Amino acid sequence: MIGLGLIGGSLLRAAAQAGREVFAYNRSRDAVRAARDEGFEVSENLSATLEHAEASNAIIVVGVPMPAVDAMFDMISQLAPQCTITDVVSVKGAMLDAARHHGLAERYVGGHPMAGTAESGWAASFPELFQDAAWVVAAESDTDPGRWRDVAQLALDCGAFVVPANAADHDRAVARISHLPHVLAETLAIAGEAGHDLALGLAAGSFRDGTRVAGSSPAIVRAICEPNATALLTALDEALDELQKVRKSLADNGTLGDLADRGHAARSRYENVERTPIEDISVGEDGWAEKLCEAGRRGGVVKSLDALR
Amino acid sequence: MIGLGLIGGSLLRAAAQAGREVFAYNRSRDAVRAARDEGFEVSENLSATLEHAEASNAIIVVGVPMPAVDAMFDMISQLAPQCTITDVVSVKGAMLDAARHHGLAERYVGGHPMAGTAESGWAASFPELFQDAAWVVAAESDTDPGRWRDVAQLALDCGAFVVPANAADHDRAVARISHLPHVLAETLAIAGEAGHDLALGLAAGSFRDGTRVAGSSPAIVRAICEPNATALLTALDEALDELQKVRKSLADNGTLGDLADRGHAARSRYENVERTPIEDISVGEDGWAEKLCEAGRRGGVVKSLDALR
């Protein structure tokens, strides 16, 4: 595990609890010390960690922020030339580009566990973070099927279920359900604060929940949203269209138009989203990656690799 | 109590628990029966209830949706010509206008408890709903000070603290912290659904919390937001300005600009909002209503009428 933030730290704990052999690198000494005190094998020495990974044929999980990925891929290509590489970074297109740029595409399988809290860092990590969470394991037309299975098994061992998706579909989806929520939460917080103490003092559940993720560190919000700027822009433009429509309705006749009906129907659909097990695809068969992605688009998930044909 | 929805029902329960004599009217027979089964004095007969209120010098609390208020004020002016009147409707300007229109202004004191859940109706009501919640008790230049104290005491007895504000300030504030959150939640739900099963299946905490109030009934959302269309339009335009700014920043250079920093600062200010007790104003003294509202604007609250000078 490269990087022991909330996600990386929780992954280390969850994989260890599942009985897997785990070791980690982290840049800051405090987290290294804290993790060691709990009995984990953690180093501040990146080269030694990558050499250890290569020697033990480990899966390398990259858990550093996007801006640090290029340097990390550079080191991996030099010091761990055989290992399977995955990651927990929240954008997959830019990661895939970076992997290709560094000649790592044939052993890279993108990953994204859809879990988190408002906290960050090793101190906030816990092994149950991924329990029953969705974990995207990216399948591209050139993904190695054996490595895909290995990465999927890691996600399953951590308690998650696997959602297959290619990088482009992933990025468009998370723009809607993760990055746009951040933009709207920040915007709502700003609009509330402009009402000064009276407005903030009257704020109850709708404002509290609607601004919750604005409590995340601005640096983390930027690191999550900005590498996905193109897809986020598309989702934001759709939201702006909706808001302009309701603005016009409020101005013209003092009503919300059909916004509340459509929003309520959408929320109900979210609450009742069905995750159907994918069973009729064999990883490695002709067109397996496209078939998995198509099944994922229809709400399919993998809860066990044995269930796949 | 006129109307036993979530708020009205909870108010009936809380006031009874505080030892106050309570009785209620409700239109639908089911809630009447359910409340009677719990030992409450509840009638389906509005005239009889209002006559009873007049005979016992009760405070009449109007807890019906805004569209039903005109007819209710009509009945009150005929059958309960002396009672103090307050309400729990989420908009105060339109209520004040209606009270003036019906010649009730001198005995009307607007109210708005800032509490609720995603549920609605008598079955969802519970007496602790207002515990430590803000409850606006509106103070206008022509508000009767004795009646203001009576309504404030009712709010305090229900476990809330009182935030004094005039109707216009209240409506501008709740547009920001209650009505805009609803509009953004509905919009986010729609944007998520447009990503179909893949996006909805990947949605985690930020989407869940950001769309929570889109789970409220569309009719209730419209009844809450639409009577405050003018103030909501102002808040929405501010939000649109922010979103256009971040849109431009994403399109020009792929960044969020300063949105995350300002949003985070705003959320922190909300988390740390201080409610200072108002102590140096005597209700009824010259300019008392304006003084209370000015204190409320600065974050002042009333936790006990004895604390006022």
Across the strands, what pairs with B3?
none
Mutate to test the interface with A, among B117, B129, B184, B253 (most CBs of A within 10 A): B184
**Under-70 pLDDT residues of chain B:** none
For residue B120, the model assigns a pLDDT of: 84
**In terms of domains, do B221 and B143 share one?**
no
Q: Is residue B1 in some structural domain?
A: no
Across the strands, what pairs with A135?
A113, A162
Q: Which two tokens stand for residue A185?
A: 């939460």
Q: Cα(A214)–Cα(A226) distance, rounded to whole angstroms? A: 15
Chain A partners within 8 Å of B205 (Cβ): 116-117, 212-213
For residue A307, the model assigns a pLDDT of: 82
Q: Cα(A3)–Cα(A69) distance, rounded to whole angstroms? A: 11
Q: By C-alpha distance, which of A107, A175, A166, A158 is closest to A288?
A: A166
Chain A partners within 8 Å of B235 (Cβ): 191
**In terms of domains, do B188 and B292 share one?**
no
Predicted confidence band of residue A85 (pLDDT cuts 50, 70, 90): very high
Instruction: Count CB atoms within 10 A of the CB of residue B304.
Output: 13
**In terms of domains, do A196 and A55 share one?**
no
Tally the residues of chain A: 309
Q: Which two tokens stand for residue A239?
A: 């939201």
CB of A228 closer than 8 Å to CB of A177: no
Q: Is residue B19 in some structural domain?
A: yes
**Chain A residue closest to B293 (CA)?**
A198
Q: Please give the share of chain A, as a percent, with pLDDT higher than 70.
A: 100
For residue A119, the model assigns a pLDDT of: 80
Chain A partners within 8 Å of B194 (Cβ): 176, 238
Chain B partners within 8 Å of A212 (Cβ): 205-206, 209-210
Q: By C-alpha distance, which of B162, B109, B116 is closest to B135?
A: B162
Q: Cα(A189)–Cα(B102) distance, rounded to whole angstroms? A: 38
pTM, rounded to two decimals: 0.91
Q: Cα(B43)–Cα(B34) distance, rounded to whole angstroms? A: 11
| Three-state secondary structure of B130-198 | HCCCEEEEECCCCCCHHHHHHHHHHHHHCCCEEEEECHHHHHHHHHHHHHHHHHHHHHHHHHHHCCHHH
Chain B partners within 8 Å of A232 (Cβ): 250
DSSP state of A298: T
Q: Is residue B90 in some structural domain?
A: yes
Token pair 């329990």 is found at A131
Token pair 């979210």 is found at A270
State the complex-level ipTM.
0.93
Mean pLDDT of A138-167: 98
**Chain A residue closest to B250 (CA)?**
A229
Residue B74, domain CATH: 3.40.50.720
Q: Is residue B92 in some structural domain?
A: yes
Query: Which residues contact residue A271 at a Cβ distance below 8 angstroms, ignoring those fewer than 6 apart?
Result: B215
Confidence check: pLDDT of A309 > 90: no
Q: By C-alpha distance, which of B151, B183, B156 is closest to B307?
A: B156
Confidence check: pLDDT of A8 > 90: yes
Q: Is residue A1 in some structural domain?
A: no
Mutate to test the interface with A, among B200, B212, B301 (most CBs of A within 10 A): B200
| Shortest distance, CA B176 to any CA of chain A (angstroms) | 5
Q: What angle do CA A168, A174, A178 make, to 5 degrees?
A: 160
| Shortest distance, CA B37 to any CA of chain A (angstroms) | 31
CB contact under 8 A, A202 and B163: yes
The per-residue pLDDT for range A234-272, each reduced to its tens digit, is 999 999 999 999 999 999 999 999 999 999 999 999 999
**In terms of domains, do B182 and B229 share one?**
yes
Chain A partners within 8 Å of B274 (Cβ): 197
Q: In one letter, which amino acid is B140?
A: E
| Shortest distance, CA A232 to any CA of chain B (angstroms) | 8
CB contact under 8 A, A233 and B250: yes
Phi–psi pair at B217, nearest 5 degrees: -60, 135
Start-to-end C-alpha separation, chain A: 30
Chain B partners within 8 Å of A296 (Cβ): 198
Q: Cα(B168)–Cα(B95) distance, rounded to whole angstroms? A: 11
Q: Cα(A109)–Cα(B298) distance, rounded to whole angstroms? A: 54
Count of CB pairs separated by less than 8 Å, A with B? 365
CB contact under 8 A, A183 and B270: no
**In terms of domains, do B23 and B134 share one?**
yes
Mutate to test the interface with B, among A90, A136, A184, A249 (most CBs of B within 10 A): A184
Confidence check: pLDDT of A118 > 80: no
Directed axis angle between helix A288-297 and helix A167-174, to 10°?
A: 20
* Rounded alpha-carbon distances, angstroms, from residue B44 to B41, B47, B71: 11, 9, 16
CB contact under 8 A, B202 and A229: no
Across the strands, what pairs with B85?
B60, B108
Mean pLDDT of A111-136: 93
Residue A247, domain CATH: 1.10.3660.10
**Chain B residue closest to A215 (CA)?**
B264
What 3-state DSSP class applies to A127?
helix
* Rounded alpha-carbon distances, angstroms, from residue A89 to A65, A248, B218, B278: 7, 39, 37, 49
**In terms of domains, do B221 and B124 share one?**
no
Q: Is residue B40 in some structural domain?
A: yes
**In terms of domains, do A188 and A216 share one?**
yes
Q: Please give the share of chain A, as a percent, with pLDDT higher than 90.
A: 94
Beta-sheet pairing, A111-113 with A134-138: antiparallel
Domain enclosing residue B85, as ranges? 6-165+275-307
**In terms of domains, do B156 and B300 share one?**
yes
Q: Is residue A112 in some structural domain?
A: yes
| Three-state secondary structure of A152-167 | HHHHHHCCCEEEEECH
CB contact under 8 A, B204 and A133: yes
Chain A partners within 8 Å of B187 (Cβ): 184, 239, 242-243, 246, 259, 263
Confidence check: pLDDT of A116 > 90: no
Query: For chain B, how many structural domains are there in total?
Result: 2
Phi–psi pair at B164, nearest 5 degrees: -80, 135
For A156-195, letters b (16+ CB in 10 Å) and e give bbbbbbbbbbbbebbbbbbbbbbbbbbbbbbbbbbbbbbb
**In terms of domains, do A116 and A39 share one?**
yes
**In terms of domains, do B196 and B264 share one?**
yes
Chain B partners within 8 Å of A247 (Cβ): 233, 236-237, 240
Q: Which two tokens stand for residue B113?
A: 């408890």
Bigger pLDDT: A19 vs B308: A19
Chain B partners within 8 Å of A219 (Cβ): 260
**Chain A residue closest to B132 (CA)?**
A204
Mutate to test the interface with B, among A130, A174, A206 (most CBs of B within 10 A): A206
**In terms of domains, do B101 and B178 share one?**
no
For residue B144, the model assigns a pLDDT of: 97
CA contacts within 13 A on the Cβ side of B29? 0
Token pair 């959408």 is found at A266
Mean pLDDT of A6-31: 97
**In terms of domains, do A188 and A263 share one?**
yes
| Shortest distance, CA A182 to any CA of chain B (angstroms) | 7
Q: Cα(B151)–Cα(B142) distance, rounded to whole angstroms? A: 15
CB contact under 8 A, B229 and A254: yes
CB of A140 closer than 8 Å to CB of A154: no
DSSP state of A214: G
**Chain B residue closest to A182 (CA)?**
B206
Q: Is residue A293 in some structural domain?
A: yes
* Rounded alpha-carbon distances, angstroms, from residue A123 to A5, A6, A33, A39, B35: 8, 8, 11, 14, 49
CA torsion, points B242, B248, B254, B258, in degrees to nearest 10?
Answer: -30
